[in-house]
């Protein structure tokens, strides 16, 4: 049997991607996952695009600009038709427990200083939530600070 032709079943790939995507991870781990997943093969890329376009995580400011550019141009080799019509939420999670240099801190600040969400409504017409969350101290001392905006 040739290992290069072996492929995991659709359902298993969907579980792997979904479980990782909806779990809490450091920004660097999320970036590595976001980079690697679409490169595995077309099945992984399609499932990744379907899941991640519904609930977007923004790990860096350049990624936020990337999202805006592909929505504006309607050109994306990964997301194709999924992105603007299927997005329900955008999350920016910052974990400052180990370091104050979490890469998601900058998009968090960008979101916090937006004058309004009209631009997001135009880019993401079906978006319902923007979640902003920071972790400054371990859980027993202080839970995560959360700021969520329901947009509907």
Domain range list for the chain: 8-150
Give the tens place of pLDDT for each residue, 96-149: 555 555 555 565 566 555 555 556 666 677 777 777 666 555 555 444 444 444
DSSP assignment of 74-128: T--TTTTTHHHHH--EEEEEEE-SS-S--TTHHHHHHHHT-S-SHHHHHH-TT--
Give the tens place of pLDDT for each residue, 38-94: 999 999 999 998 898 888 888 777 777 777 777 777 777 777 666 667 777 777 766
């Amino acid at each position: 049997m040739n290992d290069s032709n072996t492929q995991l079943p659709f359902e298993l790939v969907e579980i792997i991607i979904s479980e990782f995507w909806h779990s809490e991870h450091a920004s660097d781990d999320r970036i590595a996952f976001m980079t690697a997943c679409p490169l595995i093969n077309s099945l992984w890329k399609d499932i990744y695009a379907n899941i991640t376009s519904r609930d977007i995580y923004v790990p860096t400011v350049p990624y936020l600009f990337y999202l805006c550019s592909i929505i504006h141009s309607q050109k994306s080799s990964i997301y194709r038709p999924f992105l603007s019509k299927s997005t329900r939420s955008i999350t920016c999670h910052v974990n400052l427990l180990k370091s104050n240099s979490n890469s998601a801190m900058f998009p968090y600040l960008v979101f916090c200083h937006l004058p309004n969400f009209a631009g997001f409504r135009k880019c993401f017409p079906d978006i319902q939530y923007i979640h902003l969350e920071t972790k400054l101290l371990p859980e027993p001392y202080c839970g995560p600070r959360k700021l969520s905006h329901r947009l509907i």
